[in-house]
Amino acid sequence: MDPGMTAAPPATAHTSRLAGYLFALGAGATWGTTGVLSTALYGEGAAITGIGFWRVLIGILGLAAWGLALRPDLFRADRRGWLIVALGGGALVALFEVAYQYAIAGTGVAGAAALLYTAPVIVAILAQPILGETLTPVRVLLAVVVMVGATLTVRGGSPTDGPAGADGPGIVAGVVGGALAALSYAGTTLLARWAVPRYGAVKVLFLELTGGTVLLGVLLPLFGRPPLPPSTASGWLYVATLAILTVLLANFFFFAAVRRIEAAPTAVAATIEPVVAALLAVVAFRQGLTLVGWLGLLMVAGGVAGGYWREAFREGP
């Protein structure tokens, strides 16, 4: 056999894995822009409850255009898919879109990201009764580390800096919003473990975003919070950028990563998100963190990454 032919596959595999890690880092980095772009929208007068609706609507229109051009089967699903994924998953998406905006406005960008990253802890705990997965002592320890880290990040932040200012919802509402966002994110993760093997990741994303958009469009007016469109050109630019980066590009990066590397190292690399969010908040709005806040943020990222990293070694050959 030609030696050149035997050397090619390892090099190709190495390049593919390297690309996978880069895609995962790209997903985390683009998700990390959610907080600063949302905060910029507050400065344009956008309502906290409406940002998520327009973000998801523009995202779903972009995804639908992609489906019409390249994936016509994206729009086909059975009754269970529409009821469980579109309606149930859509309800989780709708809750997340409103709750996370309250978290950003109330606790600051870094605090919201840290609270959101308690979601893997919730998944680890709920996966035992729901999916039968083992809750090990190491998982419990990492859960404690992440929870303590999230608390330190919120306490060490400065949520009143930046466009939201003193008119924001307050730290209590922000913490409640962050907790609800983490719960909804954990719920979509657990749902995905059932739905993705049946429908595929992109179709699950499409169904959930469709359901979330419809529910937000119906429920927000009923609660006296109609999702008014941005009133300025710059506001539309921020919303469009938010949709392109955090709904479309980040998810396609993530899907590209998991096609090349395992789920656990993909999630490890994506934990760059809260760090990117905190750094962007410092640069854009001077939402600084104290030493305690930075320590808490590192505990959150380290605890989540450590859990996924351990799973990668445990599941490896």
Q: CA angle 120-215-69, nearest 5°?
A: 85
What pLDDT does residue 294 have? 82
**Inter-residue contact 26 to 253 (CB < 8 Å):** yes
Q: Which long-range contacts (CB under 8 A, 24 or more apart) does 142-146 make?
A: 142/303, 142/304, 142/306, 142/307, 143/303, 145/299, 145/302, 145/303, 145/306, 146/117, 146/118, 146/120, 146/121, 146/299, 146/300, 146/303, 146/304
pLDDT in tens, 216-243: 999 999 999 999 999 899 999 999 999 9
Res. 312 pLDDT band, cuts 50 70 90: low
Over range 71-75, report the average pLDDT.
Answer: 90
pLDDT in tens, 36-48: 999 899 888 888 8
What pLDDT does residue 200 have? 87
Over range 276-294, report the average pLDDT.
Answer: 80
What pLDDT does residue 246 have? 92
Average pLDDT score, the chain: 81
Res. 269 pLDDT band, cuts 50 70 90: low
What pLDDT does residue 5 have? 38
pLDDT in tens, 243-257: 999 998 988 888 788
| Ordered alpha helix ranges (H), the chain | 3-31, 34-43, 48-70, 79-80, 90-116, 119-131, 137-155, 171-199, 201-222, 233-242, 250-258, 263-270, 273-285, 291-315
pTM: 0.79
pLDDT in tens, 186-215: 888 788 878 888 998 889 999 999 999 999
Whether the per-residue pLDDT at 137 is higher than 70: the answer is yes
Alpha-carbon dihedral angle through residues 185, 188, 192, 198, given to the nearest 10 degrees = -160
What pLDDT does residue 273 have? 80
DSSP code of 166?
A: G
Q: Considering Cα of 101, then 105, then 108, then 111, what sign does the dihedral take?
A: negative
What pLDDT does residue 45 have? 86
